[in-house]
Amino acid sequence: MFDSPDSAAPAEPPLIDLFALDPAGLTALLASWGEPAFRARQLHAWIHERRAPSFDAMTDLPAGLRRRLVAECRLGVLQIAAEQQSADGTRKRLYRLPDGQLIESVLMPYADGRRTACISSQAGCAMACAFCATGQMGFVRHLSPAEIVEQAWRFDQELKAQGERLSNVVLMGMGEPFHNFDAVEVALRRLMSEIGIGARHITVSTVGLVPQIDRFAALGLQVKLAISLHSTRDDERSRIMPVNRRWPIAELIAACHRYVEATGRRISFEWALIAGQNDSAEEAHRLGRLLRGLPCHVNLIPLNPTGGYAGAPSDTVAAAAFVEALASHGIPGTVRVRRGIDIDAGCGQLKSTVLQKVRPALV
């Protein structure tokens, strides 16, 4: 005999994610428990300054309060679903969210001491860039500010335990940050105020949502802006980046000029070098002419191949010739080393690999 719905045990209330609460929210929560305001300040410091790994580690909080925190609260929502480490030290992490969605974060160590986190702003992506594993998945949902910031917080917590610190954050993981503008703005401010990342050590990357570029300029933040460009021709860019059909190259570059005029800051342009498609000296000269007069830098990254796109990365000879052609127009370019190339380091690749393994088992 089955129990009726009325006889079923009541569902446990969800745990309160303290990471999603600002100082006022923490104060209100603890006040509702009869705790004085200074306890909220202590709790905030444990979470955002000391990076406490657990409530039990918060040793200057009363034992009773710690027990209640354990019973009713949680420190973040991200659960590790998979992790890989490259020979170059790059760590790629796949997180599972409470609703089952999967997002990716990457920690990249550099010889000069930088520790850079590449974090996601959405589960999936609506921009459908042909060469991007995340774009091939489609869009699922936006991340909350807390879900965005927690990715960086987790890496910083682990680094601090090793006597290091997170120095840089780039929003270049899964998703289009400017498609989730409001949450990203809150996250940027939290990255600065709670994790201590300087604005000039944070970069936001966009495929070119023109109204949001103007809106970003008006924020007055010193956060860096990076534009994914990848072609100088509207027909070709529209083929690999559908967003170009809405805001073609001329409109995008005009927005970049407005951004520089409003902020006085240099823009970075990202260019995935795809063999035989956008890596010729002729294309580099077109790019140089397009960007002439715009304070900028071009980051050239040989394509990270994905299963859903047939393109291949350019070789070192073509990359060097591209840089030389750009320089003849006064435009600096740097060929970036592909990090974590021996693992699924490209955006969306680890999630794709995991799903490919899981789906057959579910059939």
- Rounded Cα distance, 259 and 237, in Å: 22
What would the two tokens of residue 281 be? 């000296």
Helix (H, G, I), strand (E, B) or coil at 66: helix
pLDDT score for 361: 43
End-to-end CA distance of the chain: 31
pLDDT score for 341: 62
CA nearest neighbour of 290 among 346, 336, 235, 234: 234
CATH architecture for segment(s) 13-74: Orthogonal Bundle (1.10)
pLDDT score for 359: 46
CA nearest neighbour of 205 among 238, 172, 174: 172
CA nearest neighbour of 356 among 308, 290, 302: 308
Question: What are the residue ranges spanned by the domains of the chain?
Answer: 13-74, 79-360
Is residue 333 within 8 Å of 300, Cβ to Cβ? yes
pLDDT score for 363: 36
The domain made up of 79-360 has a fold known as: TIM Barrel (3.20.20)
- Rounded Cα distance, 206 and 212, in Å: 9
At 333, which amino acid appears? Answer: G
Enclosing H/E stretch for 85:
strand 79-85
Residue 305 makes CB contacts below 8 A (sequence gap 6+) with: 311, 312, 313, 346
Can you list the alpha helix ranges (DSSP code H) found in the chain?
23-32, 37-48, 63-72, 145-161, 181-193, 210-219, 234-240, 249-263, 281-291, 316-327, 349-362
Beta strand pairing call for 296-302 and 16-17 = unpaired
Q: Write the DSSP string, 89-151.
A: S-EEEEEE-TTS-EEEEEEEE-TTS-EEEE--SEEE-SS--TT-TTTTT-EEEEPPHHHHHHH
Query: What residues act catalytically?
Result: 104, 347
In the DSSP assignment, the letter for residue 247 is S
User: Per-block average pLDDT, block size 10, for the chain (363 residues)?
Assistant: 52 88 95 96 94 93 97 96 91 96 96 96 95 90 97 95 95 97 98 95 98 97 97 97 98 98 97 95 98 97 84 94 97 84 56 50 40
